[in-house]
């Protein structure tokens, strides 16, 4: 088990929604880390976070993961890194491809080099369902990032740095997601839906944080951890948020999928199933699956896929409304109120 009380933890993108929730969780735990470092590039967000979280264990580093020299300085003495920094908006990636490559791919390479050379023990990188069989540039950059972090385990050498990846779906009520967009659009009485057949995976920010922290204990080096989470159709989501609204079908945006995948068929030969997750093992020759099998992992059936439209867990409209209200307590004050 991870000795958090004697560990120094660094979170890239630490001022984002996930980073802030992770920091709060660690600070409120029974044995918080001896030092927590927030690494991000927005000085205003860091200032606001400093005012909100006055804790002596917190340190704030201004910097960009594109800057390898700054990472070398920030990673000095760090034991665990949670890598949450990324450019994430699908349409923005299609129009600004070079910027996404610089941050999501070259930034990942910088983190790997700095982590190994600074003797960091574990690195958990956050990925996305869009990295599985990607059709847009954002997903492609995250797939490339995932490949880099998996392969990093093969050349960390005697430094012993372990790299793992967490891949999950959409976070309920997160910034830039469809839920806040629908909650704003419903004021007009019309919700624009890309396709009424569309489905997505959903989880709460709290679920995401808990899952990521659990992987720190489990990572052996090179695994992709996938939580078992619920699906919901976009049409049912729209009905839950705007039951009295009219719906307009506008069609898929460039780079958008009808359904999302967390475990594609191509990765099923290396996938093991656990009670609450799937673990995709690295296909490299250096990998030994015995440890995961000892923990109770079972191979998935041949041709298995974990896709949002063939899931066995589904959210109802009432489920979604409760989760939104929990994730965003102010939602009850936003007119019209959730049903």
Give tens-digit pLDDT for 284-295.
Answer: 878 887 878 888
Q: Tell me the pLDDT band of 325, cut-offs 50, 70 and 90.
A: confident
Q: Which tens digit of pLDDT belongs to each residue from 58-95? A: 999 999 999 999 999 999 999 999 999 999 988 899 99
Tokens of residue 204, six digits: 């709460």
| Orientation angle between helical segments 137-152 and 107-117, nearest 10 degrees | 20
**Side-chain half-sphere exposure of 226, counting CA atoms within 13 A:** 27
Strand partners, 122: 80, 162
pTM: 0.93
Q: Once rounded to an integer, what is the mean pLDDT over residues 283-306?
A: 88
The strand ranges marked E within the chain are 8-12, 35-40, 58-62, 80-83, 122-126, 162-166, 170-171, 190-193, 199-203, 224-227, 230-233, 246-249, 261-263, 271-273, 277-280, 298-299, 306-307
- What tens digit of pLDDT does each residue of 253-279 get? 888 899 999 999 999 999 999 999 999
First-residue to last-residue Cα distance in the chain: 43
pLDDT of residue 269: 94
Do 272 and 301 form a contact (C-beta atoms < 8 A)?
no
Q: What does the mean pLDDT of the chain come to?
A: 92
**CA-to-CA distance for 161 and 151, rounded, in angstroms?**
12
| Domains of the chain listed by start with CATH number | 4-169+203-228+261-307 (3.40.50.720)
Say if residue 328's pLDDT is above 70.
no
**DSSP SS3 for 53:** coil
Is residue 130 part of the annotated active site? The answer reads yes
Q: Which of 20, 122, 130, 162 is catalytic?
A: 130
Reply yes or no: is the peptide bond before residue 253 cis, omega within 30 of 0.
Answer: no
Tokens linked to 304:
């298995």
């Amino acid at each position: 088990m991870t000795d958090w009380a004697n560990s120094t933890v660094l979170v890239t993108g630490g001022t984002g929604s996930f980073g802030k929730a992770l920091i709060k969780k660690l600070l409120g735990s029974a044995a918080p880390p001896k030092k927590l470092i927030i690494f991000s590039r927005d000085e205003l967000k860091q200032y606001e976070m400093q005012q909100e979280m006055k804790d002596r264990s917190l340190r704030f580093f201004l910097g960009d993961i594109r800057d390898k020299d700054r990472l070398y300085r920030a990673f000095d003495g760090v034991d665990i890194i949670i890598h949450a920094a990324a450019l994430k908006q699908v349409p923005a990636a299609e129009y600004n491809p070079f910027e996404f490559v610089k941050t999501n791919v070259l930034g990942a390479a910088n983190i790997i080099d700095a982590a190994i050379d600074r003797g960091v023990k574990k690195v958990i990188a956050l990925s996305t369902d869009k990295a599985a069989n990607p059709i847009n540039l954002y997903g492609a950059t995250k797939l490339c990032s995932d490949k880099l972090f998996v392969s990093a385990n093969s050349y960390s050498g005697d430094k012993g740095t372990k790299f793992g990846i967490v891949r999950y779906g959409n976070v309920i009520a997160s910034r830039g997601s469809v839920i806040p967009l629908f909650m704003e659009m419903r004021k007009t009485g019309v919700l624009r839906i890309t396709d009424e057949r569309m489905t997505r995976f959903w989880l709460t920010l709290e679920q995401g944080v808990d899952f990521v922290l659990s992987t720190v204990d489990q990572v052996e080096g090179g695994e992709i951890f996938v939580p078992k989470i619920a699906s919901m159709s976009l049409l049912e989501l729209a009905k839950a948020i705007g039951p009295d609204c009219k719906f307009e079908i506008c069609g898929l945006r460039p780079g958008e999928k009808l359904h999302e995948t967390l475990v594609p068929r191509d990765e099923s030969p290396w996938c093991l199933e656990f009670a609450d997750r799937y673990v995709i093992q690295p296909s490299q020759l250096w990998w030994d699956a015995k440890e995961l099998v000892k923990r109770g992992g079972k191979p998935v059936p041949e041709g298995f896929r974990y896709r949002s439209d063939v899931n066995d867990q589904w959210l109802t409209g009432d489920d979604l409304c409760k989760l939104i209200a929990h994730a965003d307590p102010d939602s009850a004050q936003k007119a019209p109120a959730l049903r």
